[in-house]
A and B are shown apart, each in its own frame.
Chain A
Amino acid sequence: MNPTLSSRPFMSALRWLVFAIAVVVLNFPVIATLVTSLKSDAEISSNASLIIEDPTLDNYAAIFAMADRFDILHYLMNSLVASLIGSALAIGLAFPAAYAMARFKTGRSWLLPLAVNLRAVPLIIFAIPIYLMYQQVGLLDTRLGLAFIFALVNIPLVLVLFTSAIAELPFEIEEAARVDGASTLRLIWHVVLPMSLNVVAASSVLAFIYSWNEFLFGLMLTTSRATPISVGASFFFAASGGGVRWGVAAAVMILATLPPLLLGLLMYRQIGRSMTAGAVKG
């Protein structure tokens, strides 16, 4: 730290000011949407400022009053289930593969780059073929089908995180276990996995958030039974038929954003660490 700079109280105040401005500016879309969600329809059409004259929860109540047409809990549940399965699947598939890559160099030269490069490909190019395939195997409009896509989206990042984390683990412990005659699978399950719990936790949070926010495939591959909230939220834009009810739309967007936002606040440390690791190693 630079003592001459940080000791001045003026600089410290300036830092706080910059920090506060950055927080407000960067989070402005969410803040403004939250404000709108607390205004009545009448107030929205007459007062666009950030000061609410007559706060109301009517928009939130209206969402639940529409449950027979747009069941938000159903969409939230779809997102929750599909995101959980998708994240778990990505981790379950990537962990053993990452071990093989880190310790035996298996597939390092082709599978790792191939999987990682998936991150750079606009997945939209697979949309129609996947649709046709899903239709035949009965995965269309199912949470499981959605979960497979979520896993696919997350595999690149998770694989990179695991490979580099496992490479950094001390090899001696594994060797000791091997001498005791443990099989590779047991070794992974009983020795490597427990030592990697941190990175597993961190990447599952990240994978969950990315799954929750996936939009295009949710739109394409679901009809009604498995619609995720990222898509369901946009239904409400036309919910009144006549025009957009901005207040209701804003309230839905807030509800749809809340879970990842809260996760982000609670687990910022893990998310930060895995994003950094994923970026630097990827």
Chain B
Amino acid sequence: MERQTILQGRVLITPLTAFLIALLGFPLLLDLVYSVSRVGFENIRAPELSGLGNYAKALADPEFWAAAWFSLRFGVIVASIQVVAGLMLAIFLAPLFAARPWLIAFLMLPMMVAPALVGLMYRLILHEFVGAVPYYLLEWYGDFPAFLGRQWVFTTLVVIETLQWTPFALLILHSAYAAISPDVREAAALDGATGFRQLVSIDLPLMLPAIGVTAFIRFIDSFRVFDNIYTLVGSGAGGSTTSMSIYIYQAFFKVGDIGLAVAASMLLLAASFVVLWTINRLTARRDPA
């Protein structure tokens, strides 16, 4: 019996495994070769092995670190704002959603739009002469910030990313909030905990796992941001909006330094595995307790 289930299990996971190997096996192998080669578009078929030079070059490149820092900062800030905004909306609007669940559909819509198109849309909306945002700010306040100028571009990108993905945080936190049993709250109310105190002492602690997961997912997605930044401002004045993904894209296509681009990708891959592995270990250790 035991042997049979092992065999059956293997048969069942074979199609998926085969698909992943077929689609990613060769690319991964080729990436590994490229990352230790001197390779550009001119010798894409005949890379010259050159050792770990590309890795050293990436690690010594201040722009690599600037891009990593950009992505990290962007991811952390955006994830934090989204969680806080999503949490506030989820709790404040909970009575509305409880009575009319379909209302939440309208708040979910931003997630359905392709990020690449969102970037293009803002190119239109923020333009001084054809866009609605500068038009109204000028009308009401007589001035508006240079949204995509050096001083404001980071803020603008944060706002754009936040507006598109706060709905995600809202959705998850809303269901976490709705899942808290009324009994728990009633018991708390009997103890005299109402309003804000109930929120802090009962609701938030119960929602903590959901908050953590939401923050983590939003961070991962925002860390590897590409589509919307690329279609809106490219890599920005002086490379000021170069995220990690844009750094790799630039090194790859614009500079044609394929070895460097792939080495940077491999470093990123390794880093993400370390982070995920650590998280897996931490949660695995916590589970039995």
Contacts and interface: CB of A to CB of B under 8 A. Distances in A.
28 contacts: A19-B103, A19-B107, A22-B89, A28-B125, A36-B130, A45-B129, A45-B130, A48-B129, A49-B135, A96-B13, A97-B13, A97-B15, A100-B12, A101-B13, A107-B17, A117-B273, A120-B276, A121-B224, A129-B28, A130-B23, A133-B26, A149-B23, A152-B19, A152-B24, A268-B104, A272-B108, A279-B214, A280-B176
A105 interface: yes
What is the interface residue range for chain A against chain B?
35 or more
A4 interface: yes
Contacts of B121: 29-30, 32-33, 250, 253
B56 interface: no
Interface string B30-72: 1100000000000010000000000000000000000000000
Contact of B217 (A33, A246, A279): A279
A261 interface: yes
Interface in A222-263: 230, 233-234, 237, 246, 249-250, 253, 256-257, 260-261, 263
Report which residue of A33, A49, A89, A216 has the largest number of chain B beta carbons within 10 angstroms of its beta carbon: A33
Contacts of A237: 120
Contacts of A18: 89, 92-93
Contact of A126 (B31, B133, B135): B31
Interface in B144-166: 163-164, 166
Contacts of A126: 24, 27-28, 31
Contacts of A16: 96
Contacts of A113: 276-277, 280
Contact of A253 (B5, B117, B168): B117
Contact of B104 (A107, A149, A263, A272): A272
B224 A100 contact: no
Interface of B: 5-6, 8-10, 12-13, 15-17, 19-20, 23-24, 26-28, 30-31, 44, 89, 92-96, 98, 101-118, 120-122, 124-125, 129-136, 139, 163-164, 166-168, 171-172, 175-176, 182, 185, 189, 194-195, 198, 209-210, 213-214, 217, 220, 224, 226-227, 231, 244-245, 248-249, 252, 258, 262, 265-266, 268-269, 272-273, 275-277, 280
Contacts of B226: 122, 124, 216
Contact of A230 (B96, B114, B129, B189): B114
Nearest to A1: B95
Contacts, number: 278
Interface string A12-28: 10011011001101111
A282 B198 CA distance: 29
B114 A215 contact: yes
Given A2-B198, A35-B132, A230-B116, A106 B27 contact: no
A184 B8 CA distance: 8
A212 B114 contact: yes
Interface of A: 1-2, 4-6, 12, 15-16, 18-19, 22-23, 25-30, 32-33, 35-36, 44-45, 48-50, 89, 92-94, 96-97, 99-101, 103-107, 111, 113-117, 119-122, 124-130, 132-133, 148-149, 151-152, 155, 159, 184, 188, 209, 212-216, 230, 233-234, 237, 246, 249-250, 253, 256-257, 260-261, 263-265, 268-269, 271-272, 275-276, 279-280, 282
Contact of B23 (A127, A148, A280): A148
B213 A279 contact: yes
A282 B28 CA distance: 24
Contacts of B268: 121-122, 125
A215 B113 CA distance: 12
Contact of A120 (B166, B220, B245): B220
The 4 closest A-B pairs by CB, nearest first: A106-B9, A129-B27, A125-B265, A268-B105
